[in-house]
């Protein structure tokens, strides 16, 4: 399904980035980007990781939620070939993701809003790498190394390990647009190794920022622990513009509907 630029090549590219000195990574910190691209690190009870954000390489957006589009920040030490590897991987993964959307009966609109992360989960003897959550996307295509630690929640609230090197998670948007015919996949990561970092690369396939998401009521019966979601699953939203919701999530930092989560 994927070409030569994917799999081990992109994982090697990610490891090369995370091996850079801290000063090189900090030079492209996300605080330097008005488009929310670049490097960041989280070390708290909910997240224990470092990451770098990329999107489609486009001109800077004209304002409002269009500020989410724009040029990426690139590590100078890794050169043009590394940049080409990342962009080729993003393009190819997006093509496959859009094919999966069409097969699932979901809208395929251009230009899709794409977000890609390279993530390094620090060794921590069972420390949470990222808490239980659903993605704010149509779907997410994920590449991961062999360290382990990714789990998805089954419909009856149990956690199941996901060891496959490539996997697909459907996001909240797919659940909302299909009225629950497609279930959003709650997932979490705990790095099981005390000595090895865990590396993964998710690519989030989303509607264009100007696209309208047609919202339907979703039956909700998800047992178990709290799962971070953008939308309160007990609420029915009106149809909404994706860019407005993405700006609220990313620009305003409202990544979970529950106020207690935002206050942590």
CATH of the domain at 25: 2.60.120.330
Give the residues across from 200 on adjacent strands.
119, 144
Total number of domains constituting the chain: 1
Residue 1 counted as domain residue: no
Sequence-distant (6+) residues with CB within 8 A of 235 are 257
Q: How confident is the model at residue 125 (pLDDT cuts 50, 70, 90)?
A: low
Lowest mean pLDDT among 117-121, 154-158, 212-216, 222-226: 222-226
- 249 alpha carbon, distance to own chain's centre: 12
Instruction: Calculate mean pLDDT across residues 116-129.
Output: 84
Q: Are 86 and 73 in contact (CB under 8 A)?
A: no
Residue 3 counted as domain residue: no
Q: Give residue 19's domain range.
A: 8-262
DSSP assignment string, 175-188? HHHTTTSSPP--EE
Instruction: Calculate mean pLDDT across residues 214-221.
Output: 83
pLDDT higher than 60, residue 232: yes
Residue 92 counted as domain residue: yes
The model's pTM is 0.94
Q: Are 48 and 41 in contact (CB under 8 A)?
A: no
Beta 198-206 vs 212-213: how paired, if at all?
A: unpaired
Give the residues across from 142 on adjacent strands.
167, 202
Q: How many CA atoms lie within 13 A of 7 on its CB side?
A: 6
Helices (H), the chain: 8-18, 22-26, 79-103, 172-177, 242-246, 259-262
């Amino acid at each position: 399904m994927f070409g030569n630029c994917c799999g081990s090549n992109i994982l090697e590219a990610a490891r090369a980035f995370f091996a850079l000195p801290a000063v090189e990574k900090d030079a492209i910190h996300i605080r330097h980007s008005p488009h929310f691209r670049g490097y960041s690190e989280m070390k708290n009870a909910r997240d224990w990781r470092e990451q770098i954000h990329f999107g489609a390489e486009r001109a800077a957006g004209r304002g409002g939620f269009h500020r989410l589009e724009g040029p990426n920040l690139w590590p100078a030490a890794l050169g043009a070939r590394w940049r080409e590897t990342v962009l080729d991987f993003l393009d190819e993964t997006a093509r496959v993701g859009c094919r999966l959307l069409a097969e699932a009966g979901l809208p395929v609109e251009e230009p899709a809003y794409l977000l890609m992360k390279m993530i390094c989960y620090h060794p921590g003897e069972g420390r949470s790498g990222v808490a239980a959550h659903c993605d704010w996307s149509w779907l997410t295509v994920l590449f991961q190394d062999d360290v382990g630690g990714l789990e998805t929640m089954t419909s009856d609230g149990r956690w199941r390990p996901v060891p496959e090197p490539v996997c697909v998670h459907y996001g909240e948007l797919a659940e909302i647009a299909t009225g629950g015919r497609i279930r959003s996949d709650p997932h979490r990561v705990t790095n099981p190794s005390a000595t090895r970092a865990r590396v993964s690369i998710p690519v989030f396939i989303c509607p264009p920022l100007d696209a309208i998401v047609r919202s339907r009521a979703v039956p909700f019966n998800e047992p178990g622990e709290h799962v971070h979601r953008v939308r309160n699953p007990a609420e029915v939203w009106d149809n909404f513009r994706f860019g407005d919701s993405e700006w609220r999530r990313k620009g305003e930092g409202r990544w979970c509907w529950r106020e207690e989560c935002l206050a942590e």
